[in-house]
Structure 1
């Protein structure tokens, strides 16, 4: 298995490299009759693209999506949807100095160990640029889910030691895109941006946390054993470059509570819907959605490329110095937000279709 395909019924396969001709994606299993808004796809691509602000990489890519197949007269046909994003501003010469060197904390060595041959230009397939194809596919999935009243909103919750200090219920999530950091807490966002700029000036990088809130998922989505909804979300989010941790609901903080305090009590609301008075379960119980908001947090490490010399080895096993150069994000968080949205959407779109065939 090559590991380039995601999903069971809503299946997505990405292709392409950071410094190749371009990147692309095919979606197989998208139902026919979905009115596809290409401009909405492009808006999501704009949120992920490089060069969008002073706190991200200055590589200039328009990331325009070309739709190749799967639609007719603005609607999906039920056949595979093909999309491509052409590279425009790759500077492969920026990587000639590491053609035989392994950059610390990159996939250079592990790709060489696995394949015996690697594309050193920006990391090839291991580059975060691959996620452009995921965002294009995720934008289609989000349009499918919108028809079921489902909304996915991710935002930067933490950069380094700076946190919003608020739960998502206390924040106005309409403000996510009101600043370059994509944090809906304006005061925290200002401090986060200042920290990112200071880190960039020092030639270093910094990590943080993205939080995702999903509303409108009905009860009953997810599988009870290996394909638990939270397990599939965790796998999808952890497949994003630089992601180092995933927790949903109460997460690791839940270990400090006793069961009597942690349990979510059920009640029936005025519309005869079964609800929970608290939501420490994060909208998922037994691997299946319970109708409450699903929420999770994803930790992203500092970007591995820094503008400083680092000790390493080359393909011959000799000690070498890797010189820091090139165009890279000082903090991946602002551009990771639409990627988290996309991967969450792909998981939910798949489970949406699976739920529709589980019972009469």
Structure 2
């Protein structure tokens, strides 16, 4: 069974990703993984941390002579900023204090402190930070390489920043060009307005959220299942997206844009055109928890980053006195970068679905099972 975990702190030595269940003999493209890490650091509105880190992955296990072995893969993304923090963050040889006693509204600070009985909130800040997503993106890149063997592509784009929204639906090819925009929006006119929205928030000591869309093309019908609640593909995707820092809502297909339509306006007519096709894709490629062969479409709604240069009210956990919330280095907007993390999470969910359905200890065995299944579908 395909699974992955991450470890590491925002200002610790390293962010690690542990990926288990990738079949043997998959060629690992190190340049591709590193290019995905670069994409995660892109985006107008990012903070000063991005000027320090130049993320590159180091493969610690599970790959031999450029190919996976079937053993667990461990990926390391080393933190350059560790040199500035080691006196604070070294697990044992700490010599400097940088305690955090005032919780920030909207962060994990206070809930984590209450749950784990911390003395102060530095441990919560370090682990809940979106720096953790460097590990997700590295693992997701390996999953993308696996999916590529089955003809699956994943792309994303920003649909809104604050009150600025796109007024059209992008094609998949347009989504693939999103990286050409500073905010990852394939509309030049809207890109400028989105940048202005970020500038406005930043100049006011504020932050701004938005919406992005992530899609997968070439996904075979039949992933997921209707027979149990925890096997539904849309449920798995929604959970994966909601796990990303800052995501507060997820929709599949047209979702929020279609909730007020009648059934005759919403559902996708089925036609036969040398195979099963649908005239529209309001369902977002998933019906009854099962992929139907159309593009899988997921939209994520991201809240404004809760670390504010103009902080909200809070209290000191030592004295219980009312004070302004603490301030840490942060971004003004991370919507474009969050979409890259969402691509990685979609890649993991789909790679796991392919692995669950087609199995195989080696890539060759997995492909043989897949090709047999596709032949059955073609004979329908």
Q: Which structure has the highest helix share of the two?
A: 2
User: What value does the CA root-mean-square deviation take over the aligned residues?
Assistant: 2.2
CA deviation after TM superposition for structure 1 residue 344, in Å: 0.5
Counterpart selection for 2:338 from 336, 339, 357: 336
Partner of 1:47, secondary structure, is helix
Instruction: Report how many aligned residue pairs link the two structures.
Output: 348
Partner of 2:214, secondary structure, is strand
Point out the more displaced range, 171-180 or 109-118.
171-180
Q: For residues 54 and 326 of structure 1, do their structure 2 counterparts lie closer, same or farther at Cα, with a shift above 3 Å needed? A: farther
User: 2:102, 2:325 within 8 Å by CA — same for their partners in 1?
Assistant: no
Counterpart in the other structure of 1:72: 64
1:57-206 pair list within 5 angstroms: 57-59=47-49, 60-90=52-82, 99-117=100-118, 120=122, 123-169=125-171, 172-206=174-208
User: 2:8, 2:14 within 8 Å by CA — same for their partners in 1?
Assistant: yes
| 1:259 and 2:294 are equivalent in the alignment | no
1:13-52 pair list within 5 angstroms: 13-49=5-41, 52=42
Cα deviations by residue, 1:118-151 (Å, 9 ceiling, x for unpaired)? 6516811111111110000000000100111111
Counterpart in the other structure of 2:237: 233
User: 2:43, 2:183 within 8 Å by CA — same for their partners in 1?
Assistant: no
Q: Structure 2 CA distance, aligned partners of 1:174 and 1:14?
A: 27
Partner of 1:194, secondary structure, is helix
User: 1:70, 1:82 within 8 Å by CA — same for their partners in 2?
Assistant: yes
Q: For residues 186 and 302 of structure 1, do their structure 2 counterparts lie closer, same or farther at Cα, with a shift above 3 Å needed? A: same
Counterpart in the other structure of 2:91: none
1:287-302 pair list within 5 angstroms: 287-302=289-304
Q: Structure 2 CA distance, aligned partners of 1:308 and 1:290?
A: 47
CA deviation after TM superposition for structure 1 residue 349, in Å: 0.4
User: 1:44, 1:135 within 8 Å by CA — same for their partners in 2?
Assistant: yes
User: 1:65, 1:84 within 8 Å by CA — same for their partners in 2?
Assistant: yes
CA deviation after TM superposition for structure 1 residue 53, in Å: 6.0
Cα deviations by residue, 1:187-206 (Å, 9 ceiling, x for unpaired)? 11111012112211211100
If the length of structure 2 is used for normalisation, what is the TM-score? 0.86
Q: Structure 2 CA distance, aligned partners of 1:109 and 1:170?
A: 41
Point out the more displaced range, 246-255 or 182-191.
246-255
Give the gaps of 5 or more residues in structure 2. Answer: 89-95, 360-368, 374-380
Give the gaps of 5 or more residues in structure 1. Answer: 1-8
Counterpart in the other structure of 1:4: none
User: 2:218, 2:293 within 8 Å by CA — same for their partners in 1?
Assistant: yes
Point out the more displaced range, 176-185 or 248-257.
248-257
CA deviation after TM superposition for structure 1 residue 103, in Å: 1.3
Query: Following TM superposition, where does structure 1 have runs of at least 4 consecutive aligned residues deviating by more than 6 angstroms?
Result: none
Q: For residues 41 and 156 of structure 1, do their structure 2 counterparts lie closer, same or farther at Cα, with a shift above 3 Å needed? A: same
Cα deviations by residue, 1:40-71 (Å, 9 ceiling, x for unpaired)? 0000001113xx56621111111221110111
Counterpart in the other structure of 1:279: 281
Point out the more displaced range, 117-126 or 345-354.
117-126
CA deviation after TM superposition for structure 1 residue 253, in Å: 2.8
Counterpart in the other structure of 2:365: none
| 1:249 and 2:239 are equivalent in the alignment | no
Q: Structure 1 CA distance, aligned partners of 2:124 and 2:194?
A: 27
CA deviation after TM superposition for structure 1 residue 174, in Å: 3.3
Q: Structure 1 CA distance, aligned partners of 2:97 and 2:204?
A: 24
Cα deviations by residue, 1:190-233 (Å, 9 ceiling, x for unpaired)? 11012112211211100000111211001001122222111000
Partner of 1:148, secondary structure, is coil
CA deviation after TM superposition for structure 1 residue 355, in Å: 1.6
User: 2:315, 2:325 within 8 Å by CA — same for their partners in 1?
Assistant: no
1:212-223 pair list within 5 angstroms: 212-223=214-225
